[in-house]
């Protein structure tokens, strides 16, 4: 998780802790209604906004997202207690995974390049000479930018010897690699879900925490409370998040009310075998390259924005898909809950009837806090299977390609090229590969939407480096994938 997101993450966590306690308490609806007032009682300090009323309004919206509802669709006059009742009674989840807190959105000024007072009106005029669009000239001894011609390329700022040209960005718009978030008529952020690939970058970068995942925690708690059989499916990145051993974490999840905890690394073993076989077949046919298919954000990108790349994308399913298939085959009536580091898995779950719910790592941490479960003090409990090292390493950039190569014989090894996070440049590269039908950089392209892989997901709760050290220790204790018994 980015350091800049920690403060807003703490606010989200406090809201979720209060919602969980309220649901497990005696009066869910009334206790939910009171959350903004309990967090900002009369006369209390107002740490972030202009007044206590603004703070309470934003806390109300955060609670709405925590209830799994769209803030855009909620009536301002509706009480939180009414919305809590709606959340507890619903039988279907809202489809779009994100919502924007318009009360929290700053309505940032438009992105633009502008000249500051540091401009010296130098003789060389590198800014004017560099601009390809004729947007900059010197007037009265100072550089001036014609905004109607400026393309926001930033070249003038790069060449200015005095660093006198600055760039104003809108964090969410700047981070979105596909232009899916922009201002509406009121100047506030709005997401176009026809374009959105659920990469979660807008969630991570907004300094006001205005973009939220819509939580499914109430639906999961409802299933637990009703005594249904729930199976947790934990992606490998989870083992880098909390200061405990993996088997302690398994026990902690059981203590939440789950009947079993299954590593998604089981599904990653199947993905590895199938993708290795598919890669071998494609190369034997003379195909130029194949991309991986395990990242849900990348799959959304291909389906919505680079459809010509579909022919090169592996047809192998994701580890989450295969894990859910295994669990449902063994327990057809079980409710499957995928423990996720990112937004994109919520979208994947909507498309897969075998995945019932998603809980992300922020929500899991809040759940442990609400129930006062001290994970690092628990006894260890055994997973049903010792998963392979390469499958557990799927959480790290390069892990998928490394696993595929571990399954291939020496003469079949892939020349792997890794895209470590989707941004505008990497998307241009992918479009170029698709258009030309070639990739000089490798014949197996691994694509991870998040820098660092799943360990860098928008819903992770540990800094990347300590998370990587923790996960690596677990991976190093694991058997090799070629020794694993992989289900057919």
Q: What is the pLDDT of residues 120-173, one digit of tens each?
A: 999 999 999 999 999 999 999 999 999 999 988 899 999 999 999 998 889 999
Q: Whose CA is closest to 444, among 289, 277, 235, 333?
A: 289
Same domain, 300 and 338: yes
* Pair (257, 152) in one structural domain: no
Q: Within a domain: residue 41?
A: yes
CA–chain centroid gap for 444, Å, is 24
In a domain, 488, yes or no: no
| Dihedral, CA of residue 112, residue 113, residue 117 and residue 120, to nearest 10 | -170
- Minimum mean pLDDT range among 1-5, 117-121, 163-167: 1-5
Residue 345: inside a domain? yes
| Same-domain pairing of 284 and 189 | no
- Residues 417-431 have pLDDT tens digits of 999 999 999 999 999
Question: Could you tell me how many helices (H) and strands (E) the chain has, helices first?
Answer: 20, 15
Sheet bearing 416-420, strands edge to edge? 290-291, 444-448, 416-420
Share of the chain above pLDDT 70, in %: 99
Q: pTM for the full model?
A: 0.92
The rounded mean pLDDT for the chain is 94
When pLDDT is averaged across residues 460-466 and rounded to a whole number, the result is: 95
Same domain assignment for residues 267 and 177: no
Q: Are residues 326 and 186 in the same domain?
A: no
Residue at 128 is within a domain: yes
Tell me the pLDDT tens digit for each residue of 362-382: 999 999 999 999 999 999 999
Query: Does 32 map to a domain?
Result: yes
Compute CA distances 486 → 174, 294, 323, 383, 474, whole Å: 42, 17, 12, 16, 20
- Does residue 389 form part of some domain? yes
Lowest mean per-residue pLDDT among 6-15, 213-222, 278-287, 432-441: 6-15
CB 217 within 8 A of CB 359: yes
Residue 45, pLDDT score:
86
pLDDT tops 70 at residue 9: yes
Report the C-alpha gap between 35 and 472 in whole angstroms: 40
Residue 4: per-residue pLDDT: 47
Same domain membership, residue 200 and residue 134: no
- Could you tell me the CA-to-CA distances from 460 to 279, 363, 478 in Å, in that order? 31, 10, 23
Residue 3, CB-side half-sphere exposure with 13 Å CA sphere = 1
Does residue 443 fall inside a structural domain?
yes
Q: 271 and 127, same structural domain?
A: no
**Co-location of 208 and 269 in the same domain:** no
DSSP string, 180-227: -EEE-TTS-EEE-TTT-----HHHHH-TT--EEE---HHHHHHHHHTT
Q: DSSP assignment of 320-341, as one string? A: HHHHHHHHHHH-TTPEEEEEES
pLDDT of residue 5: 62
Q: Are residues 190 and 292 in the same domain?
A: no
Question: Is 129 contained in some domain?
Answer: yes
| Domain co-membership, 227 together with 154 | no
The pLDDT tens digits of the residues spanning 237-254 come to 999 999 999 999 999 999
> Which 8-state DSSP code applies to residue 379?
P
Query: In terms of domains, do 51 and 118 share one?
Result: no
- Residue 139 CB-density burial (10 A; 0-12 exposed, 13-18 middle, 19+ buried): exposed
The CA-CA-CA angle for residues 79, 84, 85, to 5°, reads 100
In this structure, the answer to whether residues 405 and 476 fall within a common structural domain is yes
* 300 contacts 347 by C-beta, under 8 angstroms: yes
Last residue of one domain, picked from the residues 215, 240, 273:
215
Cβ neighbours, 10 Å, residue 24 = 13
Greatest CA separation for the chain? 78
CA of residue 291 relative to chain centroid, distance: 20
Structural domain for 132, as ranges:
112-168
> Could you tell me the CATH number of the domain that includes residue 123?
3.30.70.20
Q: How many domains does the chain have?
A: 3
Q: Single out the residue of 458, 456, 476 nearest to residue 466, CA to CA.
A: 456
At residue 53's C-alpha, the angle toward residues 47 and 57, to 5°, is 95
């Amino acid at each position: 998780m980015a350091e800049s997101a920690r403060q807003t993450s703490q606010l989200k966590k406090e809201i979720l802790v209060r919602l969980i306690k309220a649901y497990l308490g005696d009066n869910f609806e009334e206790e939910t209604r009171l959350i903004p007032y309990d967090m900002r009682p009369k006369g209390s300090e107002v740490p972030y906004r202009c007044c206590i009323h603004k703070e309470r309004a934003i806390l109300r919206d955060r609670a709405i997202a925590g209830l799994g509802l769209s803030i855009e669709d909620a009536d301002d006059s509706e009480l939180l207690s009414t919305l809590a009742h709606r959340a507890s009674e619903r039988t279907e989840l809202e489809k779009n995974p994100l919502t924007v807190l318009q009360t929290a959105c700053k309505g940032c000024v438009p992105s633009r390049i502008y000249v500051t007072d540091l401009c010296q009106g130098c003789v060389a005029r590198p800014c004017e000479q560099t601009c390809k669009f004729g947007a900059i000239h010197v007037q009265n001894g100072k550089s001036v930018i014609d905004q109607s011609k400026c393309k926001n390329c930033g070249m003038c700022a790069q060449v200015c010897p005095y660093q006198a040209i600055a760039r104003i960005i809108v964090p969410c718009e700047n981070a979105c690699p596909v232009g899916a978030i922009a201002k509406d008529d009121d100047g506030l952020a709005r997401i176009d879900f026809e374009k959105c690939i659920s990469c979660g970058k807008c969630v991570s970068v907004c300094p006001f925490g205005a973009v939220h995942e819509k939580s499914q925690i109430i639906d999961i708690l409802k299933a637990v409370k009703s005594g249904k059989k729930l199976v947790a499916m934990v992606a490998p990145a989870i083992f880098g998040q909390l200061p405990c051993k993996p088997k302690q974490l398994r026990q902690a999840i059981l203590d939440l009310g789950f009947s079993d905890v299954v590593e998604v690394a089981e599904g990653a073993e199947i993905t590895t075998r199938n993708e290795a076989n598919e890669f071998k077949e494609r190369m034997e046919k003379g195909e130029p390259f194949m991309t991986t298919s395990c990242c849900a954000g990348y799959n959304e990108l291909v389906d919505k924005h680079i459809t010509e790349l579909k022919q090169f994308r592996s047809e192998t399913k994701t580890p989450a898909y295969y894990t859910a298939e295994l669990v449902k085959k063994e327990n057809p009536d079980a409710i499957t809950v995928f423990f996720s580091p990112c937004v994109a898995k919520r979208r994947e779950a909507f498309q897969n009837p075998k995945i019932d719910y998603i809980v992300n790592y922020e929500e899991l941490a809040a759940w442990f806090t609400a129930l006062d479960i001290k994970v690092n003090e628990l006894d260890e409990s055994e997973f049903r299977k010792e998963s392979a090292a390469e499958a557990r390493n799927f959480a790290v950039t390069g892990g998928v390609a490394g696993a595929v190569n571990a399954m291939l014989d020496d003469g079949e090894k892939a020349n792997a090229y890794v895209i470590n996070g989707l941004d505008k440049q990497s998307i241009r590269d992918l479009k170029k590969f698709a258009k030309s039908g070639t990739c000089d950089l490798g014949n197996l392209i691994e694509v991870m939407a998040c820098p660092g892989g799943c360990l860098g997901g928008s819903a992770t709760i540990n800094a990347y480096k300590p998370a990587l050290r923790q996960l690596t220790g677990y991976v190093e204790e694991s058997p090799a994938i070629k020794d694993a018994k992989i289900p057919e």
